[in-house]
Chain A
């Protein structure tokens, strides 16, 4: 009788476990109702053109005491600031920003608010809706204070033109002059 009771309890436990697992997997369904697979597409500005834009983030945002820190969001790598760990002897202040660092900066910038960036690129929102402009313009609280002038700063012009796929190289160069 005891054996029978034990077998019944074991079967019940296994049944409950199978039931829980099947209900859990039912909640994690990556298939869309129409049979397609769910995917998240992010729209982002041009990566090649970012080579001209990266110095603006490096010089105006990425000093070692601001976004050139490992523990800070929007982490920016640069030749004069934080270096991407490497075996090539690239230390702060020794060599120019490397292509790998520019690529990492690009991913940092477009990955800060991927959904908002997508809306801006799609034309639903404007560049000033992005944190990368709201913060330096002090349209939103920024611990580092204003990093761009409230209007007409070449840094904003550079970033906005990049997002609008009409890169203003002169503005980008002006934005880093003297910094």
Chain B
């Protein structure tokens, strides 16, 4: 009887199979990086940190990772990420030592100032006089990495991805030496 009730509950419980599939397709946690602000750099954060996701209580308005250059996935520490939305509201945040940044949504359990942008939004990143401005608008995507992922050269994804976000085109500064976790993606 108990198993039958559990089975019925499982059948009627709400889930989004598309999101669930996207989450299960992501690379797993790096065992050297604890779950927290440094984890899963370069992955689409708001898949989990959004309404209905497994980390919905810690939801983000926008989140992503800033890397140093287009080829290597080394995070940039203390880069400024400046957003403006279509209503003129602005929000500025900074990256941590793996390049991650996240803006909590109102009601999120994540501490700090919150923002509820009205899409489309526009973004610029900068550090020490170097800046890059996104040429297009962000229509409604809250995870930078959903579009800014590293394309697979053998698939059609190469025609639909702009690669990961990179602040520098050449001569990137050395990675953080004080970061408590490896500042680059990978083992």
Q: Which of A80, A92, A145 has the most CB of B within 10 A?
A: A92
Interface residues of B in 114-160 (CB under 8 A from A): 119-120, 135-141, 146-147, 151, 156, 158-160
A-side contacts of B146, CB under 8 Å: 65
B-side contacts of A85, CB under 8 Å: 156, 159
Chain B: CB-nearest residue to A179: B137
Q: A81-B136, A83-B160, A147-B120 are in contact. List 12 more A-B contacts (CB 8 A).
A: A64-B162, A65-B138, A65-B139, A66-B140, A68-B160, A70-B156, A92-B162, A143-B140, A144-B140, A145-B140, A147-B139, A179-B136
A-side contacts of B162, CB under 8 Å: 64, 92-93
Chain A: CB-nearest residue to B141: A65
Q: Which of A82, A84, A143 has the most CB of B within 10 A?
A: A82
Interface residues of B in 36-72 (CB under 8 A from A): none
Task: Pull 7 A–B residue pairs with CB atoms less than 8 Å apart, ordered by A.
Answer: A63-B138, A64-B160, A65-B146, A66-B139, A80-B136, A83-B160, A92-B162
A-side contacts of B80, CB under 8 Å: none
A-side contacts of B135, CB under 8 Å: 80, 93
Taking the complex as formed, is B93 at the interface, i.e. its CB lies under 8 A from any CB of chain A? no
Q: Select which of B120, B139, B141, B158 is within 8 A of A91 by beta carbon.
A: B158
CB distance from B52 to the nearest CB of A (A): 15
Which are the 10 A-B pairs with shortest beta-carbon distances?
A65-B141, A66-B139, A64-B147, A83-B159, A63-B139, A92-B162, A80-B136, A65-B139, A93-B162, A82-B160
Q: Are A65 and B159 neighbours in the complex by a CB distance under 8 Å?
A: no
Q: Select which of A59, A83, A93 is within 8 A of B137 by beta carbon.
A: A59
Whole-angstrom distance between the alpha carbons of A64 and B165 in the complex?
14
- What range describes how many residues of B lie at the interface? 10 to 19
Taking the complex as formed, is A69 at the interface, i.e. its CB lies under 8 A from any CB of chain B? yes
Given A144-B140, A179-B137, decide whether A65 and B156 contact each other with a Cβ distance below 8 A: no
Taking the complex as formed, is B161 at the interface, i.e. its CB lies under 8 A from any CB of chain A? yes
Chain B: CB-nearest residue to A69: B160
CB distance from B142 to the nearest CB of A (A): 9
Whole-angstrom distance between the alpha carbons of A70 and B140 in the complex?
17
CB distance from B55 to the nearest CB of A (A): 21
Whole-angstrom distance between the alpha carbons of A17 and B160 in the complex?
51
Interface residues of A in 22-77 (CB under 8 A from B): 59-60, 63-66, 68-70
B-side contacts of A80, CB under 8 Å: 135-136
Q: Are B160 and A92 neighbours in the complex by a CB distance under 8 Å?
A: yes
Q: Are A144 and B159 neighbours in the complex by a CB distance under 8 Å?
A: no
B-side contacts of A147, CB under 8 Å: 120, 139
CB distance from A157 to the nearest CB of B (A): 18
A-side contacts of B140, CB under 8 Å: 65-66, 143-145
Chain A: CB-nearest residue to B148: A64
CB distance from B9 to the nearest CB of A (A): 30
Q: Are A92 and B161 neighbours in the complex by a CB distance under 8 Å?
A: yes
B-side contacts of A68, CB under 8 Å: 160
Q: Which of B119, B135, B136 has the most CB of A within 10 A?
A: B136
Whole-angstrom distance between the alpha carbons of A60 and B140 in the complex?
12
Interface residues of A in 99-156 (CB under 8 A from B): 143-145, 147
